[in-house]
Structure 1
C-alpha cells in the first residue's frame, strides 16, 4: 500500500501563458489540495456546478491560501445565456492574472470537456491560434488535449475574438454555431 503521507503527483504540466503559467487537471481531492501550493499553484478555477460540490473544493482551496474562482458550468456543453456571459467576463480577468505572473489551475470533474473548453477560450483570448491553443492544452494535460471536442473548440473560436475589447458584446451570441456558415471547419462531419 502506498504511503498515505506521500504528496500526490499531478499528471499535468505548467505551460507559460503571458507572464504566468496555466495547467489543467481533474477535480482536486482533499489530499491533493494542500499539495497544490507546493506544485506552484496560486489560483484555482473551478468549473463544477453547485450539485457537484464546487463549494467544498472552494473551501479546501481557500483554507490553504490559494485564490479560488468559481465559474459554474453544468456540463461539457458549450455554455449559453448567463453561464456564457460569466465565462466570457472572466476571460480578461484570468488573462490579467496570467499577465501578472500568476499560476492558474483550471479543473472540472474529469478535467476534459469543460476544462478544455475554458482553457481553449483563454488561450484564444491570449491571441493563440486554434492550433497553438490545442497544442498548449495537450502539453498541459494529454488527457484533456485528447478529449476536448470540436463543439468546445468551436465555442472558443466563435465567442472569443482576440483584440475585441468588450466581452459583453460577444456574450449575446448564444445561437448554435453553424459550422458550414462559419467556414473554419474542414470537409466531413
Structure 2
C-alpha cells in the first residue's frame, strides 16, 4: 500500500491500517521534503523512478492528505502512474450495510447511516456522523465531529469544518467551505464560504 503524503493525516491513515492488521508492506510518498526518507519507521518513496522500482506494475494507494483539491490532484497523478485508489475503512466506526459506494476513507469513531452515498476520494474524518440518505460528492473533506442529518446533499470538493451541523434536507453546492462550528440552516450555492450560528455566507470563493 502506498500512502500519499507523510504528514498529520497520513499518520492517522497509518493508525487505521495498523489497528486493522493490514497484511502488506506500507510505503509513504513525499517528494517535497528531501531529508524525509522514513515515516514512523516505514520507507518514504521520493520520486516516480523509485516508485516504479518498488511497484513495476499496478499498485494500490490511499490519500494521506486532507485538502480536497490536493486529494483530487494526487488521485489523478497516481492514477495516471498505474495506481488504483483504495479505501481505508476503520473497524472502529459504525456503518450501515446499505452503503451505496465504498471508494472513500472512513476514520475512527464515525457513524454512517443507511443508504448514504459517499463520492470517490472523500474523507470522513474522526467522529463525524453522516445520517440516513445523505449524499456527498467526490473529494470532499468532512472534518472531525461534523454532523450531517438526514437527506443532506453535499457537492464535490467541499470542506466541512469540525463540529459543524448541517440540518436535514439542506443542499450544499460544489467547492463550499463550511467553517468550524457552523450550523447550516439553508441551502448554500457553489463556491461560497459560510460561517456562524446560524450560518451566513461571508465570501465567494
TM-score by length of structure 2 reads 0.28
With the length of structure 1 as denominator, give the TM-score of the two structures: 0.30
Higher share of residues assigned strand: 2
